[in-house]
Amino acid sequence: MCVNMKTIVFITIVTIVLNLCSLTRCGRVKRVVGAMDVDCGTQPRVSSLRSLKSLRHSCGATLLTEHFAITAAHCVEKDEDQYLELNNYCVKDNEVPPKAEVLEVITNPLYDPITRAHDVALLRIALHLSDITWLNSSLLPTSSFGISGECTIFGYGYSDVDTQVSSERLLAGSLRIVSLDRCAAALGPRVAPRHDGGMLCALGDRVDACQGDSGSPLICSGVIEGISSYGMSCAVPGLPGVYTSIGPHLPWIRQVIQNE
C-alpha cells in the first residue's frame, strides 16, 4: 500500500496528541465528573495545592500528619514554591481557610516522569493551627496487600475548563478498583501502568478525576489507598483512571514520616 508523506505526518501528529492527552487528562470535562459537593469538615485533610506566585490551585494533596502531606510527584516536579489551602476545614463566613507552608518536597526515588510510575511525593509542611486533634488518627492503610471494591475520589478540579477556574468546594465521586489486566485492555499497553509501577486503576459510572484533581486522594474504607495520577481524557465510559497505589509505597512513606 502506498502512503504519501502528508499522511505519515498527519498520523504522527495524531499519535503525539493522543499520547499527551493520556498523560494530562485532555478533554472538555470540567472536574470530578458526576461529583457531589462535600460538606465542610467531612474531609478536612484534603487540601488544595497552590502556587505562591499565582495563588491558583494546581493539584490536590492530603494531610497525613501535622508535619506531612502527600500528593502526586508530577504536581511538584517543576514548582516547589507552593502552599496548601485547607478549603474543606470549616471556617466562619468572614474567615479564610487555614494554610500550610510547604517546607520541603520529598519525591519517591523510583518516580519516573515519563511513565508516571511511582508518582508520589511527600510534603514536609508547617501547619499553623492551634487545634490539630483531628489529625490524631492515621489515614494510611495498615497493609500493602491489594485492594478491591468501592472507593471515593476527592478533589478541587476545574469548575470551568474554559476559564480554568478550580472548584473552591471539595467534590467527591464513587469509583471501583479494577485489575491492572483490565486496565491494560481498556487503555492499551502504552498508557496503562505496568505491574511493577506501583499504580492501580479505578473506574466509575460517568465519574472520574479530571484536570486539577491530580494528587487528590482515593479513599477506600476510611483510608487513603490511591493518589490521582493520570488518565485518557475524563469520564469516558469503560476507560479507567490511573492512581498511585499507597500500599507498595508504605515502607517509604513511614520511613520519611518517622525520620521527622
pLDDT digits (tens, 9 = 90+) for 62-85: 999 999 999 999 999 987 689 999
Q: What is the pLDDT of residue 205?
A: 87
Q: What is the pLDDT of residue 161?
A: 54
Q: Find where cell 494510611 sits.
A: 140
Kindly tell me the burial class for residue 54, based on how many C-beta atoms sit within 10 Å of its own C-beta (0-12, 13-18, 19 or more). Answer: exposed
Kindly tell me the burial class for residue 65, based on how many C-beta atoms sit within 10 Å of its own C-beta (0-12, 13-18, 19 or more). Answer: middle
Residues of the chain with pLDDT > 90, as a percent, come to 62
Residue 15: pLDDT over 90: no
Q: Find where cell 483512571 sits.
A: 241
Structural domains in the chain? Answer: 29-37+139-247 (2.40.10.10), 46-137+250-258 (2.40.10.10)
Using pLDDT thresholds of 50, 70 and 90, give the confidence band for residue 143.
Answer: confident
pLDDT digits (tens, 9 = 90+) for 154-188: 999 865 556 667 788 999 999 999 999 999 999 99
pLDDT digits (tens, 9 = 90+) for 84-123: 999 999 998 888 999 999 999 999 999 999 999 999 999 9
Cell numbers placing 11:
498520523
CA distance 213 to 32: 7
CA distance 96 to 219: 26
Read off the DSSP letter of residue 208: B
Output 168 or 255, whichever has higher pLDDT: 255
CA distance 64 to 46: 10
Q: Quote the strand ranges of 32-85, DSSP E.
A: 36-37, 46-51, 57-63, 68-71, 82-85
Please give the helix or strand (H or E) that residue 255 lies within, else none: helix 250-258
Using pLDDT thresholds of 50, 70 and 90, give the confidence band for residue 37.
Answer: confident
Nearest to 138 by CA among 62, 42, 220, 65: 65
Q: What is the pLDDT of residue 203?
A: 93
Q: Comparing 6-20, 175-189, 232-246, which segment has the lowest mean pLDDT?
A: 6-20
